[in-house]
Amino acid sequence: MPSIRQYWSVETSIPQIAETMSRNRFLLIRKFFHVNNNKDMVAREDKGYNKLFKIQPFIFQLKQNFKKIKLEEKLAIDEFIIPFKGRSILRQYIKSKPHKWGIKVFALCGSSGYMYDFEIYQGKSTNIIKSCLGISGDIVLRISEIIPPNINHKLYMDNFFSSYQLYLMLKKRDIMVSGTIRSNLLSGCTLKNDKALKKEGRGAIDYKSEKNGIIICKWQDNKAVTTISNFIGVLPTTKVKRWSVSDKVFINVEMPAIIKNYNEGMGGVDLNDMLVELYRTDIEWKRYYMRMVFHLLNSCVVNVWLLYRRHMKALNNIKFMPLLVFKSQIAKGLMLAGKDNTKKTGRPSSIDVKRRKAINIAPISDIRYDQVGHFLMPVSIKQRCKYCVEAYSRIICKKCNIYLCLNNKRNCYLSFHMK
C-alpha cells in the first residue's frame, strides 16, 4: 500500500493485518521501537562513538546466528545497497547500483545465496583489520576470518577488492582465492595490452605464473578481462558459445579454466540481494536504522528459505514452497501461533469484507500443534473428516476450521493435533 494507514482504512483494509493488530497499536510500536538504550550512547565527538550503536545488539546476534551454518565450498565477497534516501551519515551514492542512494554493506555469501557474514560500511570507523591494503583489502581480511584454512573453501571477489598483495596474504593464511583485478594493481607483472590482445581475436589468452603460486591471466572476450588466482591456472581450457556480430552466428570461443571457475563461484551476494528485492518489506522510515533492521530481517527470511530448500533437496523432494508462499506462512505463523483466536464479545468490527465461501485447508504446523485455542464446535452441515477421509463429521476445530471425527470408533481430533 502507498500508505501504512490504508491497511486499516474501510476502503482498502487487509483483514489479515487489521484483525491482528489495531492501527494505533502498530503506530505506537513503530514509534517506540528500540534495540539499544539511548542513554548508553557515546557522544559523536568521543573516540568510542559507534555509528551503528542503535542496532548493534541486533547486528551482533544476526552475525552469530548466520555463522552457525557450515560454510559452502564456493564463497563470494561483494557489496550491496540498503535503499535509503533520507538523512544519514552512512548514506552513500553509487552510480552503478540499481538503488543509487543507500547504505553500503559488504557481505560473504555462498554460491547458493546464503549470507554467512556482513559488514556495514561506516567510513573510517568500519570494523576492519587495519593493514596496508586500503579499505577494500581490509574488508576482505576481516570477513574472511571465518573461513577455516586448508578445508578446500574457495573465495571469489571482483576487481574492487582484488590486489596482488592481498592474494599473497590470503595464500599465507591457506585460503584459496580467485577474482578479477585491475591492470594497475598487478605489482609489476606485465601482460599484453588490450589492443594487442584484441588483434588476436576472441579467445586470445596471455598469462603469467609467479614463483609464489600466483597466476595472472588476461583473456579476450568482448573486451579484455584480467583475472588472478592462487589455486587455479589457465588449463584445461573449454569451449563456450558466443554470438558473432559480424557473422551473425554462434561461434566457439576458448575459455581458460580460471575464468570458468570464477563465473561459477561469483554471484552469491547478487543472488541474495535479488531474493531480498523480490518481496522487500518496503515501509517508509525516516530513521535510517529501521531500514537496516527490516532489510536484515528480509535477509533472515531468505537465508531460512535457502536452508529449507537445501533440506528438501537432500530428501530428494523436488516440490518445495516458493519464497513468496514461505514468507507468507512465516507471517501467518507469527500472527496465530500460541494465540486463542476465538471470537471475543464486545463491539463488532467496523470492517465489512465480503468473502467467498471458505475452503477448509489444513493450517501450517506452527498453528496445528501449538495446543492453544483448539476448541470443538458442533455444526449443522456434515462434511468428510479431513484427517481420516473415511467418515463424515458434524464437528469442527474452531481454530483450524476443519472437520474432524470424534466418536467411539476414532478420535481424529486428538490425532490431528498431536505430533
Which is it for the CA torsion 174, 125, 300, 85, positive or negative? negative
Q: What is the pLDDT of residue 251?
A: 85
Q: What is the pLDDT of residue 149?
A: 86
How many angstroms separate the Cα of 238 from the Cα of each of 198, 215, 234, 253, 259?
19, 18, 10, 8, 10
In 3-state terms the chain splits into helix, strand, coil percentages (rounded to 5) of 35, 20, 45
Average pLDDT over residues 28-37: 89
Q: What is the pLDDT of residue 359?
A: 54
Work out the pLDDT band at 105, boundaries 50, 70, 90: very high
> Whole-prediction pTM value?
0.80
Beta-carbon contacts of residue 315 (< 8 Å; ≥ 6 apart) = none
Q: What is the pLDDT of residue 352?
A: 46
Give residue-wise pLDDT tens across range 352-379: 444 444 456 778 888 888 888 899 999 9
Q: At 310, list the grid cell.
A: 537445501
Q: What is the pLDDT of residue 358?
A: 46
Q: What is the pLDDT of residue 248?
A: 83
Average pLDDT of the chain to the nearest whole number: 86
Give residue-wise pLDDT tens across range 262-319: 999 898 999 999 999 999 887 777 888 888 999 999 999 999 999 999 999 888 877 8
Question: Which range has highest mean pLDDT (188-192, 193-197, 377-381)?
Answer: 377-381
Work out the pLDDT band at 49, boundaries 50, 70, 90: confident
- Domains located in the chain, CATH noted: 38-291 (3.90.350), 365-416 (no CATH)
